[in-house]
Structure 1
């Protein structure tokens, strides 16, 4: 039997009879042969890989559970092994752009996933110019850009502020991520809208880099104000956990004196003491959905934006309503009276 006939049989191509195809496959199975997926991808003009660049400092990325959950969802969608994930970490925007150019020039990827969308993000124009298939993990900001897989952060912020208002808080602060990110701006805008809606006073929004040290400094700054907030909302779990230690060092009990809410629930929020109220977003599902949408783009489709399930607030360790709780001064007076 000729080599082309064997190839046709194993790759489901016309040119051989059903009887020959069945005989070749039986022999291949008996010999333990498996197809070379890389070679098959090349023959189809495909790289057999998708790319993901995470532009974050390694010291921050190494302790942030968000990206581990996201990559887990991406890998789950790639579990059949026909497509690999090419992952690169950098802390330089120009390096990230250069990676996309090189990957596409060398056909090392069939498409890319874009995270941490920025205002006027140069990556959008670059992938459009290159013709590089792409999917954005973030909210839509332009009608003519790549498809987006996104979660409505405004819905989450509404739930957070309603929860804090229900506990009797009147002054709420926020430690946000880097201001250039679109999702930071969305949350900041929603924070301002929801504090007005619930009649709350918004303390200054302080931006940080998602790391514990930056968050500690931001927390200390907010709590040192003449009229400090009684509740703080953080843009990730690492920063919220760091704030617990700062509050305790400053003599603030969590959650009795200070309520803390973390964005993106993770094991950290449940393990720290006291456990933290957190926003639970479908991060794993979002990563898997982005891979499926990208596969459609690579195949020549034009899928629309995909909005995931709304976030859910997970309350933990909430204090009694602030209006129902005696002040520390009153309690002390009773004890010594």
Structure 2
């Protein structure tokens, strides 16, 4: 089979030929129908040094995946060949307190996993391939009726990550509240839709690209702003001088973190999701009184079930550009050049093949 591989840190991925994996006990082989190209993969390819993570290349890219159950390993029950499924991306040890609570994103004992990794496409082989080996049925969610794998794949991260972030601040997103979404890319445009689906809060979006601002408006934003020296003041003007109750920063640069700190309301939440590498100077008077500054990482299986349900019922629509597997490296190149609005999705298979 063909697979897009990261051979070494600080390199571009290469399409290679690999044998089709065979599932062992408790494993499931998935025929990949969709794999999202995530901006965080660009950081993974070009910014990490050897030894920075407990795992390293070579591995197949692609950590947001969906497809069809192809082959079941010994002991796997509850799934059938041909069944469409989404893949839960974070694969923890399965035995620590967090994993047992269903939040494998925050696994505390990766050393207990058979192979230390962050999941498929994060140390272990991911979904930018014709087939993906998944270590356990607990990492698979059957797709709701009417949702195909190519559509579902980006929801496993680009939908799940903002959903988790919004849910964390949901108590503050009351009618009359305001949410500020900074960065309207693959995650940001879905964050706007999630805010619309879960709350009655006003939504303001910020992005330097005119195409992204159009996407923000199409996704349901009440206002779309271009970043600049006056942006925080514009946010406060739109919120009658008080600022945003919740700021969701999907960029994470010095500039966007500074904007968030200037625009957030007292008692508000400033949530950093993006991996832009920025820092926020923190002091007593550096942010409004009792503002909570927090990070989030991905989401859990239960939340993914809810995200897929929202999409199946028409509340979430992924704005996506699709690429065949043969053009998967080009998908990342276009993403790096800022030429993708929404999400880039690689589609290795259009239909299930027994």
Q: Which structure has the highest strand share of the two?
A: 2
Would you say same fold, with TM above 0.5?
A: no
Higher helix share: 1
TM-score range, shorter chain: 0.3 to 0.5
Report the TM-score, using the length of structure 1 for normalisation. Answer: 0.35
Does 1 or 2 have the higher relative contact order (CA < 8 Å, sep 6+)?
2
TM-score (norm 2): 0.34
Larger Rg: 1
